[in-house]
Structure 1
């Protein structure tokens, strides 16, 4: 038996398809994985043994840099957050949820705005205001005029080489449509927004990593809504890069930027250096974490 190191690119019906040395090997997990409560994930770097490409066994999962639940992928480098400007309407709150979650996982965000051509100018949020807030923090923002905006897609594609990328964002914002544009062979099922529900139907299947533009892209759009199940109150402010930058000037070293006097973050919100929407969302996320029911883990 040859021992090899590779990466799981697809998981389906109990089989793990591992890419190693230019080939794909079909493998199964050893029984002791279940006993040790280890679930191999797409994106995992693994050690496996195999005599041929259809008959291998996973022996060990190497340490992960991160993992996502939806889609179930490990070792993600960047997340493309697809946000619609209209139908569904843009939400600062939802975008900040995605950003905070990616920051917690150490995943670099890219913000991709869709349906820009449908803006009439009467909406509460403009592309310029979104770009101003988030590029100032350091996040890339790409605005696609419409589904066929080739320039926006090309701008996005330049981020793919050497990275593992996942897509996420609002239901109905066009994640599947965008993935199909980037890689027509995907043919992801794209559903119209369900008028009665006002949100997109789930069209996701198993997860597979596809080699695209010298990188890897998960072929399944990820979560479209988020609650902070595991984050603590002390972790939350560390997920806002502009708060982290301002914090050394706060009067108290462990300032939570809430009710403390001499808070530099609150001062910067007053002067407009930090966006009011970001601070308001921070306070709301704090409340959600405070009001979260304790999770009792079975021993």
Structure 2
């Protein structure tokens, strides 16, 4: 009997053979390289000379290192710092409020004793299928909420995602033990206390996952700045980069504008390809550090949320 038990322990049902394990490792190594190599190429091209890129194409090994693209972008460094500040504020505040609101909505519809949970579940699901359209959406924020040129116009439209609400609801239903909630009620805890002191700590994996996606959504957004913001002091870094790229393309293709700039003694030759890559690096640089931060909470959440005997 003990021999059979030891065999079962040494050869579990879901064990992976050494060959399969090697193939899986090779696959993920190749997949990781496919993710890293393009980023490395973008970074190296951003450090290349514009003329070399136009003549020789993209290369991992620049013929000569040149920081002209970054110098060009940093000519208006005050605006870049301002836009970075706006984006960081919007990302942090928006993510915190967004996660709390979506969790607060998902919690009651995950409870079987909530009488109207089917209605509110359908209500949030309906918004995934239909919306009011762009014009009514714009009029609500501008005419009713008066958020034109307001930094909250960059936060409110992305606060709630029906898809993430349903994900959080499913996690609550399948992971949070009902016995834990009932025990808390017996001990005299109210719903608010149960939610913040029991449900949220046990739900760190899904909260961290949703928060990471919210961070990426807020950080990468440029459309809201385009629609609602006219003041340069309130635009996001992504929209600033977008405007700069459009200006470069316009000046590169419009000979009259280039002639006027030359007559005024301004710069006529603008880096194009290298500036694109430098913009990508400046845009994604800070957000790259977000994933390791949330990864720590993935592990912590899995440990805290484990059901222990």
TM-score higher than 0.5: no
TM-score, with structure 2 as normaliser: 0.23
Instruction: Choose between structure 1 and 2: higher strand proportion.
Output: 1
Give the number of the structure with larger relative contact order, counting CA–CA contacts within 8 Å between residues 6 or more apart.
2
TM-score (norm 1): 0.23
- Per residue, is there more helix in 1 or in 2? 2
